Amino acid sequence: MASTTPQKISFKAQMLLARESAIIQSVNRLLAEKGFDAMTVDEVAADVGIAKASLYKHFPSKEDLAAAAMVSVMQRAQAFLDELPEESAPIDKLRSVVTWTMGLKLAGEMPSLPSQNSSLRSTLMGNKDYVDGLMDVSERLGAWIEMAQSQGAINPQLPPIAVLYTLYARACDPVLEFLKMAGLFSNDDIVALVLSTCFDGLAAR
C-alpha cells in the first residue's frame, strides 16, 4: 500500500496535468488568434475535445483560463532567459529576448489580452504564479537594462522603466501583424525590421 498509493496518485496527477496542459495550449492558440473577448469558452472546450462543464472543473472562470496561458508564457520566457549565455553583453541579451518574443507572436503563440478589462486584470494580479514570474522577468531585464546603460549601449537618459515597457510592448506590437498582412516580408525580415526600429529608431544614424 505504501508503495502503490503514491504511484496511483502520481499517475492521476500526471493525467490531470496532461489534460490541463492541453487546455492551456488551446487557450494559448485561441487567445493569440482571436483575443480574449472574441474567444469563447465553448470554442476552447471544442478545441480540447471535452465538455464545457469539464473545463470549469479545471479552471473556475474564463479569466483563469487566460491567466493560466499567461503563466505558461511567462514560464517559457523564464526558461529562455535561463538559457542565454552568461558571457553575452546585456544589450545582446535584451535583443535576444525581444527577438524571441516577436517570433512567438508571429508564430501565433502569444496570447493577446485587452489591457483595459478590469476583471481580467484582477484575476491576473491575484495569480501568484503570474505575478511572481512577471516580477522575476522584470527584475532580470531591469538589471540588464541598467548594465547596458552604464556601458553606453542603451541611451542612459531614458528611465529604465520606459525601456522595460518598450521592450514588453513588442509582444503586442500591431506593426508585426500589419507587416505580415502586407505580404511583402518574411517573418525573419519582419523581426529584423522591428528590432531595428526598436533599438536604432527611425532616424538615420
- In the list 41, 50, 131, 193, the residue contacting a second copy (rule: CB under 8 A) is 193
- Within residues 140-179, the interface with a second copy by CB under 8 A covers 149, 152-156, 158-159, 161-163, 165-169, 172-175, 177-179
User: Are 140 and 81 within 8 A, CB to CB?
Assistant: yes
Rounded-to-integer distance, Cα 62 and Cα 40, Å? 8
Range in contact with DNA (rule: CB under 7 A) among 58-66, 85-93, 170-178, 187-195: 58-66
Cell numbers 487567445 correspond to: 31
Task: Examine residue 79 and tell whether it contacts a second copy (CB under 8 A).
Answer: no
Q: Nearest to residue 165, comparing CAs of 115, 107, 203? A: 115
Cell numbers 478589462 correspond to: 117
30 binds, among DNA, a second copy, none (CB under 5 to 8 A by kind): none
The Cβ-side half-sphere exposure at 39, using a 13 Å CA radius, reads 25
User: Are 39 and 30 within 8 A, CB to CB?
Assistant: yes
Range in contact with DNA (rule: CB under 7 A) among 54-62, 72-80, 87-95, 96-104: 54-62
Q: Nearest to residue 76, comparing CAs of 107, 115, 116? A: 107
Task: Examine residue 15 and tell whether it contacts a second copy (CB under 8 A).
Answer: no
Residues engaged in binding a second copy (CB under 8 A): 34-35, 37-38, 91, 112, 114-117, 149, 152-156, 158-159, 161-163, 165-169, 172-175, 177-179, 182, 184-185, 193-194, 196-205
